[in-house]
Amino acid sequence: MKKLLIGIVAFFALVIIGLVIAINMVNLNKYKPQIEQAVKEHSGYELKINGDIGTSFSPIGISIENVIVKNPEIKSKQKIMTLQKIGVAVELMPLLSKEIKVKYITLNNLSLDVTKFENGKFNFEVTQPSTPKAEKEAPKQEKGKAQENTLPKINISEVRLKNANINFEDLKTKSKATVQDINVAIDNIGYDASKKGLNALSFEANTQIKAVIFNQYSAKNISVDLALKDAIANLKNLKLTMYDSLATAKGKLDLNKKVPFLEIEADVPDFKLANFSKEYIKKDILSGSVSVHKKFTLSLGDMNTIKRTLNGVAIVDGKDVGIKGFDLDKILSGYDKAKNVDLKDVGASLVAGPLGFILSKSSDMSGIYGGANSGTTLLKHLHIEVKIAKGIADLSDVAMATGKSRVAIKGQLNLLDERFLGVKLGIMDANNCAKYSQTIEGTFTKPSIKVDESMIDTVTNMATSLFGKISGVVAPAKKENKKCTVFYDGVVKQP
């Protein structure tokens, strides 16, 4: 027995020594032309290996340096990918039991360039090479016998993507996007061939990204932990910085469903409006900060699917929020001075926050508010709470207060049809009743104003809409009204 064991050990020692000698003697660099030609024949892409192809024994591995991938079918933007180095290593012993155990896969300094041309095609689209007839003819399965799954069990210890960059350009829309300095560490990767689809795959990953820039949008210092198991991806510890404001999030993506289902919760405790104003709007018109909380569930798909399945809540709250360029109190004073006043743009601010003024179609304010388009507005308290269910957004607590006035909005928004549903805006008094109110009807793109005459006691000249005057309305006679219907009773108090 002892001699047998010694013989077995000696045999494996000789096999290992032989493998070491064979691997070190093989120079794979002389096979570069054959490798490049094979890639072109099977994929249509042009591969160029400008660096060395190296091998290692412990573990058994291969590395390729300075790789370039091009699309030979186009004249410009041919280069799709460059890669400084790729390395793959597998363990020897598991191969004997029909198991592939990959020690590591590394990709260093990957650069991916994607271009969408004016005709809608991408620079990576190639004509698929014709498949030989022998490969097309699948082996016939014996009648009455189930086809056995011949895929071996695959385990990958780690995958490392270091210093990668992605560039995207749409030549038709003139838009550009870049993802800078991507570092991904994927561990505990497993593939169980006995399971179907994504249920067979499992892994844990950590991703670090220096910056994502799309036109005027930017996010920096992005990090996230992701775990995939049983076709469910759990996102944890998601952090990113936008306009010098830290955002955190967590979520879950269920890929078992026909349409992927997403649950996401995000917080921005101190969203700096001044930085947003300068970087995105390119104007110094906002100051202060707001807190943002969002919690949603939705099915991923086209825009209609997202709107139809969107459920959740969004809350924005801020104090001492400044808006430069117009005086809101002066605008609202039109109510008491029997002047034309329009609350629709005020409503835009309440739904979208103070940015609603700037991002609305009347952002320059000229010709609409006359002398009111100067000065500043300080919102002592801004609060927006919107609850969304099946594509209907309920404005459950939406109001803002300056040092002199308070404005509130209530009603619903149909996100699917893009219509206002009973949306009312009102100037509040100390009893939470509306001294003056307007109803917004119609679509988001063509809203119309209806003046609520029953709410007016002191105004003699009715309001105008944001995009046109309402004429021919006669004010009702002033009458005593000791009791009123509460219009708003939320968190924003009367100044």
Going by the DSSP 8-state scheme, the letter that residue 284 receives in this structure is: -
Report pLDDT for 137: 54
Q: Cβ distance 103 to 91 under 8 Å? A: yes
| 21 vs 256, higher pLDDT | 256
Q: Strands 232-242, 217-229: parallel, antiparallel or unpaired by DSSP?
A: antiparallel
CB-based burial label for 249 (10 Å; 0-12, 13-18, 19+): middle
Strand 376-379: give its sheet, edge to edge.
Answer: 286-287, 321-324, 376-379
pTM of full prediction above 0.75: no
| 90 vs 350, higher pLDDT | 90
Report pLDDT for 42: 85
Least confident range from 119-128, 153-162, 338-347: namely 338-347
CB-based burial label for 37 (10 Å; 0-12, 13-18, 19+): exposed
Q: Cβ distance 393 to 371 under 8 Å? A: no
Name every residue whose Cβ is closer than 8 Å to that of residue 318 and which is 6 or more positions away in sequence: 273, 288, 289, 290, 291, 353, 379, 381, 382
**If pLDDT is split at 50, 70 and 90, which confidence band does 225 have?**
very high
> CA 495 to CA 407: how far, in whole Å?
11
> CA 68 to CA 38: how far, in whole Å?
15
Mean pLDDT (the chain, rounded): 78
Name every residue whose Cβ is closer than 8 Å to that of residue 270 and which is 6 or more positions away in sequence: 245, 246, 289, 291
pLDDT tens, 394-413? 999 999 999 999 999 999 99
